Amino acid sequence: MWKGRFAQETAAAVNAFTQSLDLDWRLASSDIEGSRAHVAMLAEVGLLETDEARQIDEALLQIDQEVRSGDFRPSEDLEDVHMNIEARLIEKLGSLGAKLHMGRSRNDQVATTMRLFLRGEYRRLASGLKALLEVLLARAEADREILIPGYTHLQQAQPISLGHYWMGHFECFRRDARRLAAAFEAIDESPLGAGALAGSTLPLDREMTSRLLRFARPTRNSLDTVAQRDYLLDYHHFASVFALHCSRLAEDLILYASQEFGWLVLPDAYCTGSSMMPQKKNPDVLELVRGRTGQVVGHLVDLIVSLKGLPSTYNRDLQEDKRGLWASLSAVEAVLSVLPDLLAHVSVDERRAQAAFEGGFLLATDVAEHLVERGVPFREAHEKTGKAVRWCLDEGRALDSLALVEWRRLVPEVGEDLLARLNAREAVRLRRTYGGTSFERVAEAVAEGRSFLRDSWPLEG
Ligand code: ARG
């Protein structure tokens, strides 16, 4: 394609080294979509005859068929998807095909093609993410009244509603939906017409190609257009935070399903056995969800580092943007293919969950707040309750086993109504602050989550 200026053939090793076909052939249909808009625009501004444009468009459609049917065998010698398709067009139409690339560079072309391609990917991600959120909502609704221990520092802290727990993760993934929407917005500008870096002397109509390709507007600066990969960083940021959220959720479930916690039961269909130990049921799916997170974050770092030292504008380094992107997309999709269903089939061993409450120490804050309600300053209430806990530990007693007289001996300010509230269900029921774990607050959160998915979902798909 550039043979005019060169006195030597490109070395075979160089072709193999510089080609990107293995990375970009999947873009073929999107590349054709962009070319068709370019051709329509060229006809509109008089750079192609109407009939020429029609012939090129028909040939491009045929090539798209060849791509989709698998009949098109691209060649690495032609470097990338763009050159392969253009070469095929020239093969079909002769010098008419050679008109396609006027006013265009692969630099604006690849940026356009990527954005068109990513639209479809993002729609798939959006619907996977929505499915995940729907499962969490359904779980939260069904598990609203199930009590589990809540932890800070991985130490038992206060009883919570399992529904509240699921809604906590719902909030994480809701924010991820906003981040994906931001990534979506970042691809909603048309690079076509930026040329190699500075635009074109030809009278291209960038508004028209932008409109034909259903972008919101053409990009504003041609230099920036061919140089920047912020739109991919936005994807990687979404993916990294999403993977991080999945990883933390996975880590929780792995712990809660271990014998030491034991109150969560993972579905057999989402676990694997051991080749040696017959009793084992391993949470490999969750471990791999956790395990892939590092790779997803790695791809973000990879691209940031690649971009860091690049001078303006297009540099060939940018071609490598695809390698990590595809790997990241497939990791995220893989997680979305297993996680919602796994969550839908998790169950709780309520007897084991109840056992966690038996020492009663998760109710210590409730004792302190009971004292606060009776006028004891919180710091004093905290200390008095702490001493009662100490006494129970020394005596081998459970906090909720003390009779009123025993309580009064330890903390004279205790009221008669303390005993009635010293159980996990009451402890949860009474945490009615906005955003808290009480059953009614969880019901409200679920209702709000439903209306978010129905009315305010920030994504297509
Ligand atoms: N395959 C290249 C890429 O993905 C296309 C752009 C090549 N441009 C160039 N000036 N060599 O970035």
236 part of the active site: no
Query: Average per-residue pLDDT in the chain?
Result: 97
The residues that bridge with 152 in the sheet, in sequence order, are 155
Residue that the structure tokens 């971009």 belong to: 307
What torsion do the CA atoms of 12, 15, 18, 19 make, to the nearest 10 degrees? Answer: -140
Q: Say which residues have a Cβ less than 8 Å from residue 143's Cβ, sequence separation at least 6.
A: 161, 162, 163, 165, 166, 348
* For residues 340-368, average pLDDT: 94
* For residues 415-444, average pLDDT: 97
Percent of the chain with pLDDT over 90: 95
pLDDT higher than threshold 90 for residue 360: no
- Look at 165-174, 228-237, 388-397, 452-461 and tell me which has the smallest mean pLDDT: 452-461
Residues 199-223 have pLDDT tens digits of 999 999 999 999 999 999 999 999 9
Could you tell me the CATH superfamily of domain 108-202+213-349?
Answer: Fumarase/aspartase (Central domain) (1.20.200.10)
pLDDT higher than threshold 80 for residue 251: yes
Assess whether the C-beta atom of 110 lies below 6 angstroms from ligand 1. Answer: yes
pLDDT higher than threshold 90 for residue 312: yes
The residues that bridge with 282 in the sheet, in sequence order, are 272
Report d(CA 287, CA 281) in Å as an integer. Answer: 13
The amino acid sitting at 181 is: A
Report d(CA 300, CA 237) in Å as an integer. Answer: 7
Specify whether the CB–CB gap between 400 and 422 falls below 8 A.
yes
- What pLDDT score was predicted for residue 231? 98
- What pLDDT score was predicted for residue 2? 75
- What pLDDT score was predicted for residue 314? 98
- What pLDDT score was predicted for residue 359? 82
- What pLDDT score was predicted for residue 4? 86
Assess whether the C-beta atom of 20 lies below 6 angstroms from ligand 1. Answer: yes
CA distances from 191 to 98, 134, 140, 209, 227 (A): 22, 36, 44, 9, 11
274 part of the active site: yes
Question: Model's pTM, two decimal places?
Answer: 0.95
Assess whether the C-beta atom of 108 lies below 6 angstroms from ligand 1. Answer: no
377 HSE (CA, 13 A, CB side): 2
Q: Which long-range contacts (CB under 8 A, 24 or more apart) does 149-152 make?
A: 149/263, 149/353, 149/356, 149/357, 149/362, 150/362, 150/437
Q: 325 CA distance to ligand 1 centroid (A)?
A: 16
* For residues 75-93, average pLDDT: 97
User: Nearest to residue 225, comparing CAs of 390, 101, 105?
Assistant: 105
Domain 18-102 carries which CATH code?
1.10.275.10
Q: 324 CA distance to ligand 1 centroid (A)?
A: 16
Assess whether the C-beta atom of 229 lies below 6 angstroms from ligand 1. Answer: no
pLDDT higher than threshold 70 for residue 20: yes
- What pLDDT score was predicted for residue 363? 97
Residues 108-118 have pLDDT tens digits of 999 999 999 99
The domain segmentation of the chain, as residue ranges, is: 18-102, 108-202+213-349, 361-455
Mutation choice for ligand 1 from 77, 106, 307, CB with most ligand atoms inside 8 A? 106
Preceding amide of 152 cis, omega within 30: no
Mutation choice for ligand 1 from 319, 320, 322, CB with most ligand atoms inside 8 A? 319
- Look at 11-15, 161-165, 405-409, 430-434 and tell me which has the smallest mean pLDDT: 11-15
- Which atom of ligand 1 approaches the CA of 196 most closely? 10
Beta strand spans in 352-438 (E): none
Same fold, 18-102 and 108-202+213-349: no
At the top level of CATH, the class of 361-455 is: mainly alpha
- What pLDDT score was predicted for residue 461? 62
pLDDT higher than threshold 70 for residue 67: yes
